[in-house]
Amino acid sequence: MRQDVPLPQAYRLMNHGPTVLVSAAHGGRRNLMAAAWAMPLDFDPPKVAVVLDKSTFTRRLIEGSGEFALNLPCRAQADMAYTVGSCGGEALDKFEAFGIGSFAGQATQAPLIEGCVAWLECRLLPQPALQAQHDLFLAEVVAAQADARAYAHGRWQFRDGPDADPALDALRTLHHIAGGRFFLCGEQVQAHSMGDKT
């Protein structure tokens, strides 16, 4: 079950540095690619940054449409994330070739990927110099949703130790290391202000 995430809290979906699948559509074509270099930039309005190499077909679709989506894949999608990040999409419809389901977003035409645990729909904030020189794309998040099993009440629901829920294990986000290897988000530690101890 998907739930809307208040836009000023959209940064929380990416604050822990997960791998994202960048999806876009333009001119009757669609594509998705994996990206490890994506991050939140601002709270309200929420903004994100993502690095998209000049050689990617997804980048051309984004430049044409002015919009894209960041989809957060989970442990159950590790093979798919590695596969779509390892092949080009200009001569291949990755959705059809690899049986990847998608659904329509709320605010953009970018396809949202089924099975992910969060989705951020984004409108490009054109910065031609940054895009050309550093492959850095900035965007405003215009809609955000999350899988209520994995993200609820403004935070990720994963727990380890005696509070662990084995059913949530397959929904842990992926964090790319290199060469098709990922680690998963892990143990949470609750910090307390040192001022509270006086």
* Alpha-carbon span 109 to 29, nearest angstrom: 11
Lowest mean pLDDT among 16-25, 68-77, 123-132, 170-179: 170-179
Q: Quick check: 2 and 117 in contact, CB under 8 A?
A: no
Paired sense of beta strands 102-103 and 67-72, if any: unpaired
Q: Per-residue pLDDT for 198 more than 70?
A: no
CATH number at residue 56: 2.30.110.10
| Domains identified in the chain, total number | 1
Predicted TM-score (pTM) of the model is 0.90
**Radius of gyration (Cα) for the chain, nearest Å?**
17
- Nearest Cα neighbor of 87 from 26, 163, 31, 168 is 31
**Run of H or E including 183:** strand 181-184
Alpha carbons within 13 angstroms on the beta-carbon side of residue 132 total 3
Task: Find the domain containing 91 and state its range.
Answer: 2-197
3-state secondary structure of 50: strand
Tell me the residue type at 100.
I
pLDDT band at residue 67, thresholds of 50, 70 and 90?
very high
- Nearest Cα neighbor of 143 from 7, 1, 8 is 7
Q: Per-residue pLDDT for 139 more than 60?
A: yes
Q: Per-residue pLDDT for 146 more than 70?
A: yes
pLDDT digits (tens, 9 = 90+) for 95-126: 999 999 999 999 999 999 999 999 999 999 99
Q: What is the pLDDT of residue 162?
A: 67
